[in-house]
Chains A and B, each alone.
Chain A
Amino acid sequence: MRLLLIEDSPRLRELVGETIRDAGWRLDAVGSAAEAEAAMEGEEYDLILLDLGLPDGDGLDLVRGLRRRRRMTPVLVITARGAVDERIAGLDAGADDYLTKPFNNGELLARARALLRRAPLAVAPVLEAGALRFDLATLEVSCAGAAIALTPRERAVLEILMRDLGRVTAKRVLEAKLSGFDEEMSTNAVELLLSRIRKKLAAHPTGTAIETVRGVGYMLREVPG
């Protein structure tokens, strides 16, 4: 995995660089839009981390230029402008996700991981949450080496929750997924399924919890042990 970081603050470049390299990824870091253009000419990156406020131009122009050239490299925007409409402008320009300063290392890695999984060249897709591992290649769910037996429907739901780690998955998204299984759905099918998954996970020290957000959906989150 090779990442490009475009950030004009040298100290923030160092710190983010450290975090990224600790995660086992390679990173090129530049401090201006011009350097970024040059770097992207010579290299195909798996993910671009982009600060919007650059000394020689707006970061969003960089994203637009990239998309115009039909380069689908995922872009994670790091922005000091936190207002919702400004974030939406970022997504409209072609960015894939955003992170508002100040952020923490965990957030940065989680977002980066999520975007890398979506990348076309991504290999060995394994979802992780706490001690929980979901190998998408073998469809094996395990915790600390111990396999957890799940039915296909339970696996489908857990996969979605793990992809949305730390964020709420709307109940209707889960219902739509389950309606793909050709059984008749009862109104509380999702609730029943979730309670079965919770029961199976509870037997293991997963370091996670599935929270019910009434009226909205469900959220898998890591619980500090």
Chain B
Amino acid sequence: MSARARPLASLVARRIVLFAALAMLAQLAAVLWEYVREPDNLARLLLERETEALAAGFSLHDGRLGYELPAGLRARYGREGSGYVARVRTASGVILYSQCDESCTEHFLPLELNPPSFWMRMRGEGYPLSFAGGHTVEIGARSAFIELAIDRDPQHAVWRVLADEAVDHMLVPMSLTLLFVLGASLYSIRAALRPVREAAEAADRLDPMQPEGGLDTAGMPLEIAQLAGAVNRSYARVRDLVSGQKLFTSAIAHEIRTPLAIVRLELERIDHPRARKALAELDELSRFIDQILALARLEAADRRGFVPIALDPFLEEIVGSMAGLVFERGGSIGFEPSDNPVVEGQPALLRDAVRNLVENAVRHAGPGVAILVASEPGGAIVVSDDGVGFSAPPRPDAPGFYKRAGGLGIGLEIVRRVAALHGAGFTIAGGAAGTPPRGTRARIAFPGRIDRPAGTEPPAG
């Protein structure tokens, strides 16, 4: 999976929000257009808004009605020549507030007239708005009459009206809708994806080594069942390949080793130096086949076969079983235990790795070599020798890297792969310093021991 993979829910949420925003913009434009086409209606809304704002200035003291222009409106109605005029009076004609020149009498209803609860008169066509009007407001039991006139709306008060309308009639209801749509979509996606998540977990547990097995498509939505079916088919193919490989390796084992055994026994009956040479070649070939088989086993291996391995008895047994070969070739071998670290691993593969390291040492370090296999308390295997030293292996991409039968190439490749499968670090380097450096030291360092090292038990209680 790429690092950029994002959950479906987040993708869908982003898109829903994006399209909702686009829809809002479109609707906003449409709504504004509707309002702008009817200046009368807009003027009425503006009048209502302004009288409401002006009404905040009323106060009642001992039954006496008072008025003071609200602070926020002083720049609009408290100055002459601003283009806005206002007058506040009682029903009986007492003027509570007036910022009015002679235009008052021109714009407003006469003082002696008992005002209607609402009146308005346009004073020009279109924009900017010019109109006059009045509105009765109730303050407690008293009523008052606010009149105002706007001449060409120089402070663009109409925009506030449009903004308020947009919020009240569009943003609030649409946001609520968006919230529900988003919630419902995310919920459906999560619900629809549950079988996918379960299928993914089941796919994780699939074992190509098992003859049976696959994803159970019962209860899955159709599209996901199709995906699971495809996974099952490719898994069946993998299983075929794995079992084919098993067949192949056991066929190699049987069909090649039996003739090798025949050739070997035949050669042993020939008392001639050239037969001895042929025998040595045959041994090389047998070893090479063992390594090929080890590689094939590795291909089919994974971490499922891992068990705890106590390194000290494990290595002691390997050293014991290899001593014959080492002494036969004129070397010697020893084992140095530590505090018996326990690591996780596949015994058969680790044995292949250690065997290969010891065989390498016997082959390349020269006669009389002393090999030491050791465990380390941190959970590591070390195979060192005092031989002629390690020459760097050819680059893995060098031609013929794999062709050096029994040589450094394939043996160390096995060790490297076994170590990699165990998550262990593999290093091989010259041993003791000097010119030329003596010996080789190979080390397989496991990611950690799974037991508690000796001497670090927590105090009882």
Contacts and interface: CB of A to CB of B under 8 A. Distances in A.
Contacts of B286: 102
A89 B250 CA distance: 15
Interface in A159-185: 166-168, 170
Contacts of B316: 170, 215-216
Interface stretch (A80-88, A111-119, A121-129, A148-156): A80-88
A215 B314 CA distance: 13
Given A12-B265, A15-B265, A211-B332, A80 B258 contact: yes
Interface in B315-343: 316, 319-321, 323-324, 327-328, 332-337
A102 B260 contact: yes
Contacts of A53: 254, 258
A217 B324 CA distance: 12
A102 B334 contact: no
Given A82-B293, A85-B348, A15 B324 contact: no
A159 to B, nearest CB: 19
Contacts of B253: 80-82
A162 to B, nearest CB: 15
B378 interface: no
Interface string A206-225: 00010111111101010000
Contacts of A83: 293, 297, 348
A211 B265 contact: no
B261 A12 contact: yes
Contacts of A216: 316, 319-320, 323, 334-335
B281 interface: no
Nearest to B286: A102
A175 to B, nearest CB: 15
B257 A80 contact: yes
Given A83-B293, A166-B324, A215 B261 contact: no
A167 B326 CA distance: 12
A163 B351 CA distance: 26
Nearest to B250: A81
A16 interface: yes
Given A9-B258, A215-B316, A216-B335, A104 B268 contact: yes
A211 B323 CA distance: 9
B351 to A, nearest CB: 6
B320 A16 contact: no
The dominant DSSP class at the B interface is: helix
B335 A215 contact: yes
A11 B323 CA distance: 32
Contact of B348 (A19, A81, A84): A84
Contacts of A219: 323-324, 327
B320 A217 contact: yes
Interface in A77-120: 80-85, 100-105
B254 A19 contact: no
B282 interface: yes
B394 to A, nearest CB: 28
A29 to B, nearest CB: 14
B213 interface: no
Contacts of B269: 15, 18
A207 to B, nearest CB: 14
A213 B265 contact: no
B265 A105 contact: yes
Contacts of B372: 214
Nearest to B337: A215
Contact of A213 (B266, B293, B319, B347): B319
A103 B268 contact: no
Contact of B258 (A101, A167, A170, A221): A101
A67 B323 CA distance: 33
B350 to A, nearest CB: 10
A9 B262 contact: yes
B16 to A, nearest CB: 56
Nearest to A78: B261
Contact of B261 (A84, A102, A168): A102
Contact of A104 (B256, B265, B290, B319): B265
Given A80-B257, A82-B253, 7 more contacts: A11-B262, A81-B254, A84-B348, A84-B351, A103-B261, A104-B264, A213-B332
Interface of B: 250, 253-254, 256-258, 260-266, 268-269, 282, 286, 290, 293, 297, 316, 319-321, 323-324, 327-328, 332-337, 347-348, 351, 372
Please give me the 3 A-B residue pairs with the lowest Cβ-Cβ distance, nearest first: A214-B334, A215-B335, A168-B320
15 contacts: A12-B258, A12-B262, A12-B265, A19-B265, A80-B257, A81-B250, A83-B293, A102-B282, A104-B264, A168-B323, A211-B327, A213-B335, A214-B372, A215-B319, A215-B335
